[in-house]
Chain A
Amino acid sequence: MIQYNYNDSINILRDIHWVGFYDEQADLHCNPYLMVDGLDVILFDPGSIPHFSIVMRKIIDLIHPESINHIVASHQDPDICGNLPVMEDLINNPELRIITESGCVRLIQHYGINSKYFKVDKNNNKLILKSGRVLEFIPTPYLHSPFAIMTYDIKTKTLFSSDIFGTVSKDWELFKEINSTFKAMKLWHQAIMPSNVILKKCMEKLQDMDIERILPQHGSIIEGSAEVKTAITFLKDLPCGIDLD
């Protein structure tokens, strides 16, 4: 078993990095990711103010922050957008665009953001990078935000799933065998997702997709298509939210 040093950024793929903060005291762990694709650098869900210095230090270890030209905000929560104004101030790149859903813009502008927005629903749910690499955005309304989106990297078959497939537990590792995460995944989804009716539809959609790995914003990475399928099957029939009354 490989020992990871969570003090540094961790390469998931050659061009995708985990730049999160492992807080041993917390049960909810946040996972920002950085994608470096030649001239395009995309930061996924940068996180909160308390995490800023660590996340940014890990980014600086990898690239010059001014080269970041996209930040994906999968929804409006403070564990995702809290440090956006500080982040854009330090990035200091006039080309920087915040990628999100139109409805979400209405909310996250209240963080005091100055950058321009890339509204996915106004752009055919697609961002084509300079290299020709395509990022697809999948709307997942009410899971749990009405404006929530996931990002699918076609090239590496990687799904940045935001809150879905997240876990809540003090016992955290970036890579974990799927069966050992069910309890924490169940706890998280039952607490935060509104209903199985909505969750099931999303899982049915994911079933038909070719996904090699899932990078959730909370919890552990699900690596390999078999594990991904197991996770989808698990969530597909999980009662949650209002189902539990």
Chain B
Amino acid sequence: MKKDILTTGNQHFNDVRNINRDLIEKALEMRCNAYLAHVKAKLLTMTIYDVNSSKTALKREVAARTIIENQIKHKSAQLEELNTQLEKRVVEEVEKRRENELILAQQSKMAAMGEMLGAIAHQWRQPLNALGLYIQDIEEAYDFGELNKEYIHKAVTNSMNQIEFMSNTIDDFRNFFKSSKEKTDFNVIDSINEVLSIVTASLIKDKIELSIKFSDFNNFKIHSFANEFKHVILNIITNARDAINDARIIDSKMEYGRILITIDLLEDKHIKITIEDNGTGVPEKIIEQIFDPYFTSKHASVGTGIGLYMSKVIIEKNMRGKLYVNNIDHGARFIIEIPKAST
């Protein structure tokens, strides 16, 4: 009986122990599975999060790129618009510039014509006077019965001489103002002399003494546009003349004007032509501007402001030389440097 109770007690104790053991193991297994499930879930979440965040990053990047692309597109459009406007403005400016040059050339021509008309008028005054005398004398000769064949012949010959002189004058001037088509070899002394033949009369009238100095005549040949060169010389001489006349207004005691032209050969095979006068000189504050187009110190009725600009263009662009100015005691000095002809 006692043994039975002990056996039953032991049996019960063992049963409880086994149940406990199973329970603990079950709990631990659940814990293990829970942990593994948690690890798996965590892994899955992390993967989803990674995928999501990379998706978001991608979306953000795409958005940023779209914005940049739009900005670029917008900027490109603006640039294109600006370009179009710029092109239009360039075309407009070029057109304007061309028109200005045309006007300049026209004005230059008009100024030259004015100069020519003045010169012609001056040259013609003397022969016109002579012609007038011859014609008036015919009537007188008739009254005095001197009108014979010999008289008429003499009167016709004299008149025709005057008329021929006048006709030559016109030809001379026309040739002078014709622009050169081609470069030719010419001597600068010859060209200066041709200019002088036109202006001497007006210089004498204004009591201006002009002298020219050079060493060896044969050394001063250049290969260029002859008439254009003459225009430059004429322009500078007439400017000198005007400056001298202006100086006379300021200083009434001043009697004789002087223009001195010196021609030298420089060592670097350039010919240097110096034209000095005893006029007013160039005021220092405008000396930088006198070669600009439309710049003039003269009264509007006298100057157009293009003479020196055209001169500078002719010497520096067409003849590859230099034209500059500086003041000397009582006057101005214009200097032209142009390359000598190669032979």
Binds B, one of A38-46, A84-92, A143-151: A84-92
Cα–Cα, bound, A83→B28 (Å): 12
Q: Which residues of B contact A56 (CB under 8 A)?
A: 28, 32
Q: Tell me how many residues of A have a C-beta within 8 Å of chain B.
A: 14
Cα–Cα, bound, A53→B35 (Å): 12
The smallest beta-carbon distance between A87 and chain B, in angstroms, is 9
A-B interface contact total, Cβ < 8 Å: 34
> Which of A54, A83, A85, A90 is in CB contact (< 8 Å) with B25?
A54
Q: Tell me how many residues of B have a C-beta within 8 Å of chain A.
A: 12
Q: Mark A44-57, 1 if CB is under 8 A from B, else 0.
A: 00000100111011
User: A residues 18-42 with Cβ under 8 Å of B?
Assistant: none
Is A85 in contact with B29, judged by CB distance below 8 angstroms?
A: no
Is A53 in contact with B39, judged by CB distance below 8 angstroms?
A: no
A109 touches B (CB below 8 Å): no
The smallest beta-carbon distance between A7 and chain B, in angstroms, is 6
Quick one: closest A residue to B30, CB to CB? A53
A60 touches B (CB below 8 Å): yes
Cα–Cα, bound, A89→B34 (Å): 11
Is B32 in contact with A86, judged by CB distance below 8 angstroms?
A: yes
The smallest beta-carbon distance between B301 and chain A, in angstroms, is 105
> Which of A57, A60, A86 is in CB contact (< 8 Å) with B35?
A86
The smallest beta-carbon distance between A222 and chain B, in angstroms, is 29
User: A residues 53-87 with Cβ under 8 Å of B?
Assistant: 53-54, 56-57, 60, 83, 85-86
User: B residues 1-51 with Cβ under 8 Å of A?
Assistant: 18, 21, 24-26, 28-29, 31-32, 35-36, 39
Q: Which residues of B contact A86 (CB under 8 A)?
A: 31-32, 35-36
Is B39 in contact with A52, judged by CB distance below 8 angstroms?
A: no
The smallest beta-carbon distance between B35 and chain A, in angstroms, is 5
Quick one: closest A residue to B22, CB to CB? A57
Interface residues of B (CB under 8 A from A): 18, 21, 24-26, 28-29, 31-32, 35-36, 39
20 A-B pairs, CB-CB below 8 angstroms?
A7-B21, A49-B36, A52-B28, A52-B32, A53-B25, A53-B28, A53-B29, A53-B31, A54-B25, A57-B24, A57-B25, A57-B28, A83-B32, A85-B35, A85-B39, A86-B31, A86-B32, A86-B35, A86-B36, A112-B39
New A-B contacts (19) at CB < 8 Å, excluding given A7-B18, A83-B32, A85-B35: A7-B21, A52-B28, A52-B29, A53-B25, A53-B26, A53-B28, A53-B31, A54-B25, A56-B28, A56-B32, A57-B24, A57-B28, A85-B39, A86-B31, A86-B32, A86-B35, A86-B36, A90-B31, A90-B35
